[in-house]
Amino acid sequence: MTQTGSVAAGRLSDWISLGVLASWVPRDVVDDAVEVTGKGAKRSGGKLPPHVMVYFVMALSLFAEEDYAETWAMLPETLAGWGCWEDPQATVTTGGITQARQRLGHEPVKETFARIARPAVTEDTPGAFTGPWRKMSMDGLEWDIPDSEANAAEFGYPGSKDGARAAFPKARAVTISECASRAPVLAAIGPCTSKGSGEQSLARELYPRLEPGWLLMAGRNFCNWQDWSTAADTGAALLWRVKSDLILLPLEFFPDGSYRSVLVNPKVRGKARAAILEAARAGEDLDPRKHGTSGPSSTRSLTVRAAGKTRSSP
C-alpha cells in the first residue's frame, strides 16, 4: 500500500486500525446493508458513494478526537488497498463529506453492525465459557452528544436535580457483549428522556436475538417476569440479579447452598398461585393447563443463590 501526503504522516497504529476495520467489514456486507436500507446512490459516478461513507462513519468512531478532514485523509488509500473503493483519488471537500454523511443516515451503519457483530473468541479462550455456555453480559450506558437541533429533537436534554436543562443532549444504549473479548454483539440506542426510553425498553429490542448456548448476565434493573420469559424462550441461559423484595420460596436445597424455586407470573394469584407452589414442592410437572392458570407461560423454574448474590436459570 502506497503512503503519500498526509496519509504517510499517520501513526502506524492508525494504519493498523483501518486495516483491521476494512478486513473485518467486507465490502459486500456493506453493499448489502446499503441496499436493504434503501440508501443506495441516486446516481452513478458520485465521488462519495454510500458504502464509502459507511466506512467513514466507522472510522470517525476509531478516531473520535479527529475532525472530518483528518479522518478522511487516512481513509481512501486503505479502502483502495482492501478493494473497498475503486476511486480513492477523488477530490472532495469537507462540505461534500458532510452532505454525503447526511444522505447516508444511520440505517446502513446499524444494519452493517447487525450483520458483522459476532462473538469473537473460541472455546479454548480462558474464561470465555462456563460449562457449555458462552459468557455474555448486558449493560446500559449514556453519553453526551453534540448540541445540535437535530440531536436535541431526536434524543432530548436530560434534566438536572435543580430542574435546569443539561448542557448537551444525551443518548442511551444497551449492549450485550462477550465477556472474554468485551466485543458488543447486540446493541440498541435511543433517547434518554422520552417515555419508553429506559434501559429496560431498549433491552427488549435485544432479547429475541439471544442465542442458545449463551449465558446472559445482567443487573437487577432488567429483571421482571415478561422480560425474563422472553429471554428464556430463546434457549439462552440467564444469570440475573434481582431486587431484594422478590420472594422466591425454596423448593429443594442443594449442597452448594443454592436452592430450586419457581418464578410465577404475577398475574396468577390466590388459590391458583398456591396450587402452583404446592405442585412445585411435590415435584410435579408445572403444566399451566393442569393447574388452572392462564396462558402457556405462567411459571419458570430457576436456581437461586444465597441472598445478596445471584439467581440463575438451570
DSSP letter for each residue of the chain: ----HHHHTS-HHHHHHHHHHHHHS-HHHHHHHHHHTT---SSTT-SS-HHHHHHHHHHHHHTTTS-HHHHHHHSHHHHHHTTS-S-TT----HHHHHHHHHHH-SHHHHHHHHHH------TTSTTSEETTEEEEEEEEEEEE----HHHHHHH---B-TTSPBPSS-EEEEEEEEETTT--EEEEEEEESSSTT-SHHHHHHTTGGG--TTEEEEE-GGG--HHHHHHHHTTT-EEEE---TT-----SEE-TTS-EEEEEE-TT--HHHHHHHHHHHHTT----TTTTT-SSS-SEEEEEEPSTTS-EE--
pLDDT at 273: 80
Among 81, 116, 151, where does a domain finish? Answer: 116
Provide the percentage of residues in the chain whose pLDDT is more than 70: 84
Q: Could you tell me the three cell numbers for 39?
A: 440508501
Provide the domain limits for residue 81. 5-116
In the predicted model, residues of the chain with pLDDT beneath 50 are 1-8, 289-296, 307-314
Clarify whether residues 237 and 162 are in a common domain.
Answer: yes
Clarify whether residues 18 and 93 are in a common domain.
Answer: yes
Clarify whether residues 71 and 10 are in a common domain.
Answer: yes
Among 179, 214, 241, where does a domain finish? Answer: 241
Structural domain tally of the chain? 3
pLDDT at 138: 97
pLDDT at 65: 85
Clarify whether residues 96 and 147 are in a common domain.
Answer: no
pLDDT at 64: 84
pLDDT at 6: 39
- pTM summary value: 0.80
pLDDT at 12: 64
Clarify whether residues 219 and 313 are in a common domain.
Answer: no
Clarify whether residues 236 and 248 are in a common domain.
Answer: no
Clarify whether residues 91 and 17 are in a common domain.
Answer: yes
Clarify whether residues 34 and 92 are in a common domain.
Answer: yes
Contact 226, 208 (CB under 8 A): no
pLDDT at 291: 44
